[in-house]
């Protein structure tokens, strides 16, 4: 474990104690505090991952599922080849997560933007032999990722890229904030994210200077 990761873990443990004393749900704090990445930071994350990772296509594809599709890390870990490929082996432009694999226990349709489709095409071509377990992403030991191991893995990728304040929730929060900034309504965002209420969605959205600057120009 690297020095930066040790510091990060210590900070998280400290915050857990603080949340207990202040009667705050740690999970909510962890989500709400996750840094949203700008375009420069996302490029830095992907550049470092593609340059330094032992499995660059796997790792960048996992990251982009959170940043371009808004998947939770546990949902990324639960993806199977059949989810993203049709019967002819072609990458789909949309897929459905069944209720058993979503936090809300409701099935959710996921739309794959062109960049995600191209990323998946490259990743699938790089997989010499599909694992017997059928899951899209495998660890170094050819086992499937669990939600916990995937969370830890993505956290290491952010730490290695020196993206301060980023957590495994950063991709999903960045996705929601970016779409909100581009004018997508909270109601649509809640449906896309699989949230039961728009209040949950609103907590994810980070209000930044660009959003306020654009709002000011509406007058």
pLDDT tens digits for the chain (219 residues)? 554 445 445 544 544 454 454 444 444 444 556 899 999 999 999 999 999 999 999 999 999 999 999 999 999 999 999 999 999 999 999 999 999 999 888 899 999 999 999 999 999 999 988 889 999 999 988 899 999 999 999 999 999 999 999 999 999 999 999 999 999 999 999 999 999 888 889 888 888 777 777 777 777
SS3 144: strand
SS3 135: strand
Tokens of 62: 């996992």
Whether this model's pTM surpasses 0.85: no
What end-to-end distance do the CA atoms of the chain give, in Å?
Answer: 52
């Amino acid at each position: 474990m690297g020095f930066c990761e040790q510091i990060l873990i210590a900070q998280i443990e400290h915050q857990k104690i603080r949340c207990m004393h202040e009667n705050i749900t740690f999970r909510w704090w962890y989500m709400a505090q996750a840094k949203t990445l700008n375009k420069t930071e996302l490029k830095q994350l992907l550049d470092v991952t593609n340059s330094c990772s032992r499995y660059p296509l796997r790792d960048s594809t996992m990251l982009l599922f959170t940043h371009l599709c808004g998947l939770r890390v546990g949902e990324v870990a639960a993806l199977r080849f059949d989810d993203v490929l049709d019967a002819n082996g072609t990458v789909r432009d949309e897929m459905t997560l069944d209720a058993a694999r979503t936090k809300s226990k409701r099935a959710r349709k996921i739309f794959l933007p062109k960049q995600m489709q191209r990323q998946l095409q490259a990743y699938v071509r790089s997989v010499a032999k599909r694992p017997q377990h059928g899951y899209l992403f495998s660890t170094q030991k050819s086992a499937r990722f669990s939600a916990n191991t995937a969370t830890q893995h993505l956290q290491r990728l952010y730490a290695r890229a020196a993206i301060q304040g980023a957590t495994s929730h950063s991709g999903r929060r960045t996705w929601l904030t970016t779409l909100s900034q581009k004018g997508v309504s909270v109601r649509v965002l809640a449906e896309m994210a699989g949230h039961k209420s728009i209040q949950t969605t609103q907590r994810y959205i980070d209000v930044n200077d660009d959003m306020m600057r654009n709002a000011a120009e509406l007058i």
